[in-house]
Structure 1
Amino acid sequence: QAFNQFVERGVDASGAAIHWSKEAPDGPEVTHVTGLVVSHGGVFSGQVRRDGQPHGVGTQTWPDGATYCGGWLAGAANGHGKLVKGDGAGFEGMWVQGRKHGAGVEWLVDGREDRG
């Protein structure tokens, strides 16, 4: 999915609703999409760059039921976010380049939690 034209508001070829905005005077242009189908059959709603990569804040759901909601940078989970896997286990805390990083709360299917 590539966004190669300036669109103020509209619908892309997949039917996802879009509108363009600017993060900051010197930041990248981003748009908000709803229901954008991404690789591996996932669905993303939130901010994306013109090249279609998640960038800003958004939620992605995968076919196995896993959902990540939080910050994104250049297509990867970044900043504060929450991942809940299809089996109910998950992690809420900081992410860097798509990986858990630093403090957070991790929980297992059986309900046990690890904070730190």
Structure 2
Amino acid sequence: VRWPTGWYEGDFQNNQLHGEGTLARHDGAVYVGTWVCDHKEGQGRETWRDGRCYQGSYLKDRRHGFGCFRWPDGRQYCGEWAAGRQHGKGRVLLSSGRVREGHWCNGQRTRWLSEARELQPGDDFLELPSQMDRTL
């Protein structure tokens, strides 16, 4: 289905986006994941033209639950989200390649829970952009 602002390919129910589907907007944003009654809900991945990426849980179009966000400079946050904001415990991959754990409240870091350390096997961060592009 095509609209003036982009296109959607996927499942519908009762004339609404519902089930698995892909929504691509003309501004370059692409969402691939689950829809419930026209809302991003459940697991999904959203990418933007500038290199930002979020992969994780959604609730009524907002990041909610566990998810990872990557900025264009390579920094990442993987952890808890509520109402679209970092909220709870999370880990940050700094642009230096080091990792820190912290606590966030309504999108603001309230304290660090660990000193910076080297990235280790098993750290759960998003793949590099070139690897992710191959999975689309």
TM-score w.r.t. the length of structure 2 is 0.62
Unaligned runs of 5+ in 1: 1-11, 22-28
Counterpart in the other structure of 2:9: 17
Tell me the residue number matched to 1:63. 49
CA distance in 2, matches of 1:98, 1:74: 10
Query: Amino acid of the residue matched to residue 104 of structure 1?
Result: G
Structure 2: give runs of 5+ residues left out of the alignment.
103-136
Alignment pair present for 1:110 and 2:96: yes
Alpha-carbon distance in structure 2 between the residues aligned to 1:70 and 1:76: 10
Q: 2:21 aligns with which of 10, 26, 33?
A: 33
Whole-angstrom CA distance in 1 between matches of 2:34 and 2:26: 16
- 1:11-35 alpha-carbon deviations (Å, 9 max, x no partner): x2355331257xxxxxxx832112x
Higher RCO (CA 8 Å, separation ≥ 6 residues): 1
1:56-104 Cα offsets, whole Å, 9 max, x none, are: 1100001111110000011110000011111110100110011111111
Q: Indicate the RMSD between aligned Cα atoms, in angstroms.
A: 2.1
Q: Which residue is 1:9 aligned to?
A: none
- Amino acid of the structure 2 residue aligned with 1:106: V
**Match among 68, 73, 81 for residue 82 of structure 1:** 68
**Higher Rg:** 2
TM-score w.r.t. the length of structure 1 is 0.72
Counterparts of 1:114 and 1:39 in 2: how far apart (Å)? Answer: 36
> Residue 96 of structure 2: SS of its match in structure 1?
coil
Which residue of 33, 45, 50 corresponds with 1:46? Answer: 33
